[in-house]
């Protein structure tokens, strides 16, 4: 099976140029011009950009959380991702203290196998560093190809791990070749502040934000950075929302630490006032960390542009407004945390970032695809338009203006945080491993064609990247 994409403008993390792409089977076999058209399916990309498929390093699909389960599962979540131009996700596999890691991983395979529209992989949550966990970790890396571990510094009595666990995870990750990810908020302080708010009768959604101050995120981010330096290890801070956290990451990077930061579309474009909406509508905007004062958005865009932050995750974690967010109608601490973002991640970054002149096209590709592929051991198979890479490609028309709405989105959840927002640019065609899966606003793929990816160890794909860029 041969496909040729003609007349488009190829955009990678480093270059922008006109060329045709020849795809044979699942991979890109040549980039150039004058390919014979006779025995190939030809896609005309005139007037469009061709991006490498998006890599979303942060999703929660089919995940139990806050007394319920996320609305989007591996089928609806990955299909919606594809509509938005994302062709690879890395989802968080939750574990339980005292239970084998192997059991948790099997459970996540059961949720996803045969159900995904695009390729996927897993990060693994570490809640404790027991002897059993230490014994299992080499298997997790060697056999499962799970080369990133997630530690929560918040959600006391649910997911939160102590500093000893974080430190030991950092040491072990260094030894085994994995990247440690942290949710950096001071869970103990937040626990104190939320109890105090409830005792004062402060139950509305806005108190979710007011009890999770920027200092709690800045402090935890700084602590995680210091512990990483002490362990000479490597760290990736997820969903950075504020200046206090950005400063800590930038300072640690300047000092030479191997530390990376992710932010999300919601923190770049929405602010704390969303949580003040009447009739409990503020609950739609309950994320942790919370949405911040507007001034933080400039800091985040600036950090993306100048390299202080390097990736965009969706933190997809969707709950219906009706019946799920409503669990917290009398008590903000019972509102399930998270929102639907997997579909609009790239759209928001293009429209608010590239079209508004805050980042350039190549930076857009880097932060939505290439950098995450490099950090999480997927590059150059993913996140790259190069010979031998998977033909995961997005044909993107920058001239179309469209309106985001839950009426037309493909996530299962009953609202969209960007309802009514006009965005510039639209995904026209998406290919996953050489097959067209999105065209004419329809899903053309086969659910189950998305397969599990075992990832390279941390640093290995950076070395691969260096070699690939060199040849």
What stretches of 156-264 show up as alpha helix (H) in DSSP? Answer: 163-176, 187-199, 206-210, 214-230, 243-254
Should residue 315 be labelled a site residue for ligand URP when binding is judged by CB under 6 A?
yes
Nearer Cβ to Zn ion, position 7 or 406?
7
285 part of the interface to ligand URP, by CB under 6 A: no
Does position 243 bind ligand URP by CB under 6 A? no
Q: Is 288 in the site for ligand URP (CB under 6 A)?
A: yes
Dihedrals φ, ψ of 223, to 5°?
Answer: -60, -45
Run of H or E including 107: helix 101-112
461: partner contacted, choices Zn ion, ligand URP, none (Cβ within 5-8 A by kind): none
Residue in the structure block whose two tokens are 């490498």: 52
For helices 163-176 and 131-142, angle between their N-to-C axes, nearest 10 degrees: 40
Smaller CB distance to ligand URP: residue 217 or 392?
217
**Residue 432 binding target from ligand URP, Zn ion, none, CB below 5 to 8 Å by type:** none
Q: Smallest distance from the beta carbon of 302 to ligand URP, in angstroms? A: 23
Q: For residue 338, state whether it binds ligand URP (rule: CB under 6 A).
A: yes
DSSP 3-state assignment of 314?
A: coil
Of 217 and 352, CB closest to ligand URP = 217
Q: What is the 3-state secondary structure (H, E, C) of 214-229?
A: HHHHHHHHHHHHHHHH
Question: Residue 316 or residue 363: which is nearer to ligand URP going by CB?
Answer: 316
Question: Which residue among 115, 168, 183, 284 contacts ligand URP (CB under 6 A)?
Answer: 183
Closest CB 333 distance from ligand URP, rounded Å: 13
Q: What is the enclosing helix (H) or strand (E) of 30?
A: strand 27-32
CA distance 22 to 30: 5
Strands 20-24 and 27-32, by their bridges, are: antiparallel
Cα–Cα dist 471/466, whole Å = 9
Q: Provide the minimum distance between the beta carbon of 266 and Zn ion in the complex, in angstroms, as a whole number.
A: 11
> Nearest approach, Cβ of 237 to ligand URP (angstroms)?
12
Helix (H, G, I), strand (E, B) or coil at 151: strand
Residue 9 C-beta: closest distance to Zn ion, Å: 7
Binds ligand URP (CB under 6 A): choice among 90, 237, 317, 430: 317
Shortest distance, CB of residue 120 to ligand URP, whole angstroms?
A: 17
Q: Where does this chain bind Zn ion (CB under 5 A)?
A: 7, 183, 315
# of chain residues touching ligand URP (CB under 6 A):
9
The residues in 215-234 that bind ligand URP, with binding defined as CB under 6 A, are none
The answer to whether the beta carbons of residues 438 and 396 sit under 8 Å apart is: no
Choose the contact partner of 451 out of Zn ion, ligand URP, none; CB within 5 to 8 A by kind: none
Minimum CB distance to Zn ion, residue 138 (Å) = 26
Q: Token pair of 332, please? A: 């903000």
Q: How far is the CB of 155 from Zn ion (least distance, A)?
A: 8
Contact 29, 386 (CB under 8 A): no
- Vertex 331 angle, CA 325 and 334, to 5°: 50
User: Vertex 269, ends 264 and 274: CA angle to 5°?
Assistant: 105
The string of DSSP letters for 322-376 reads TTTGGGGTT-GGGSPP-B--TTTHHHHIIIIIITTTSS-HHHHHIIIIIHHHHHT
Residue 287 interacts with, from ligand URP, Zn ion, none (CB under 5-8 Å by kind)? ligand URP
115 binds ligand URP (CB under 6 A): no
Indicate the residue among 311 and 337 with the shorter CB distance to ligand URP. Answer: 337
**Which is closer to ligand URP, CB of 20 or CB of 219?**
219
* Minimum distance, C-beta of residue 398 to Zn ion, in the bound complex (Å): 13
Which lies closer to ligand URP via its Cβ, residue 315 or residue 392? 315
CB 169 within 8 A of CB 129: yes
Q: Which residue in the set 59, 60, 186, 234 belongs to the binding site for ligand URP (CB under 6 A)? A: 60
Identity of the residue, 269 or 363, whose beta carbon is nearer to ligand URP in the bound complex: 269
Peptide bond into 208 cis (omega under 30): no
Please give the Cα distance from 29 to 52 (Å, whole number): 15
Residue with Cβ nearer ligand URP (45 or 235): 235
Nearer to ligand URP, 266 or 297 (CB): 266
Could you say whether residue 287 binds ligand URP (CB under 6 A)? Answer: yes
Q: Give the number of residues written for the chain.
A: 471
The backbone torsions φ and ψ at residue 55, rounded to the nearest 5 degrees and listed phi first, read: -115, 115
**380: cis peptide before it, omega within 30°?**
yes
Q: For ligand URP, which is the closer residue by CB, 51 or 92? A: 92
Residue 337 as a binder of ligand URP (CB under 6 A): the answer is: yes
Interaction site with ligand URP (CB under 6 A)? 60, 183, 239, 287-288, 315, 317, 337-338
């Amino acid at each position: 099976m041969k496909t040729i994409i003609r007349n488009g403008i190829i955009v990678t993390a480093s270059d922008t140029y006109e060329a045709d792409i020849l795809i044979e089977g699942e991979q890109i076999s040549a980039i150039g011009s004058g390919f014979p058209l006779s025995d190939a399916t030809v896609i005309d990309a005139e007037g469009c950009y061709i991006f490498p498929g998006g890599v979303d390093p942060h999703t929660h699909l089919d995940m139990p959380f806050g007394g319920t389960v996320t609305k989007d599962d591996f089928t609806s979540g990955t299909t919606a991702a594809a509509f938005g131009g994302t062709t690879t996700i890395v989802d968080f596999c939750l574990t339980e203290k005292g239970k084998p890691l192997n059991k948790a991983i099997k459970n996540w395979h059961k949720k996803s196998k045969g159900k995904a529209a695009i390729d996927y992989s897993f990060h693994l949550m570490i809640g404790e560093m027991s002897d059993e966990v230490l014994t299992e970790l080499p298997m997790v890396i060697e056999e499962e190809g799970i080369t990133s571990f997630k530690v929560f510094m918040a959600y006391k009595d649910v997911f939160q791990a102590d500093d000893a666990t974080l430190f030991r995870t950092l040491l072990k990750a260094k030894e085994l070749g994995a990247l440690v990810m942290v949710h950096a908020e001071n869970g103990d302080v937040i626990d104190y502040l939320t109890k105090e708010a409830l005792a004062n009768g402060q139950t509305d959604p806005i108190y979710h934000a007011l009890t999770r101050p920027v200092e709690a995120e800045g402090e935890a981010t700084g602590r995680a950075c210091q512990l990483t330096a002490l362990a000479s290890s490597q760290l990736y801070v997820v969903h950075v929302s504020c200046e206090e956290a950005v400063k800590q990451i930038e300072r640690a990077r300047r000092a030479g630490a191997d530390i990376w930061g992710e932010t999300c579309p919601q923190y770049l474009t929405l602010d704390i006032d969303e949580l003040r909406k009447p009739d409990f509508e503020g609950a739609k905007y309950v994320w942790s960390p919370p949405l911040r004062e507007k001034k933080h958005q400039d800091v985040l865009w600036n950090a993306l542009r100048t390299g202080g932050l390097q990736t965009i995750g969706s933190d997809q974690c969707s709950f219906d407004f009706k019946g799920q967010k409503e669990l917290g109608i009398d008590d903000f601490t019972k509102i399930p945390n998270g929102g639907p973002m997997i579909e609009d991640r790239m759209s928001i970054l293009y429209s608010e970032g590239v079209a508004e002149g805050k980042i350039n096209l190549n930076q857009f590709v880097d932060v939505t695809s290439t950098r995450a592929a490099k950090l999480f051991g997927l590059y150059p198979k993913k996140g790259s338009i190069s010979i031998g890479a998977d033909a995961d490609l997005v044909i993107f028309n920058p001239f179309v203006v469209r309106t985001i709405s839950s009426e037309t989105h493909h996530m299962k959840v009953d609202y969209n945080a960007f309802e009514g927002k006009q965005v510039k640019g639209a995904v026209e065609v998406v290919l996953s491993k050489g097959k067209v899966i999105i065209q004419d606003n329809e899903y053309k793929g086969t659910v189950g064609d998305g397969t599990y990816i075992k990832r390279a160890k941390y640093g290995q794909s950076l070395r691969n990247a260096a070699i690939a860029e060199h040849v």
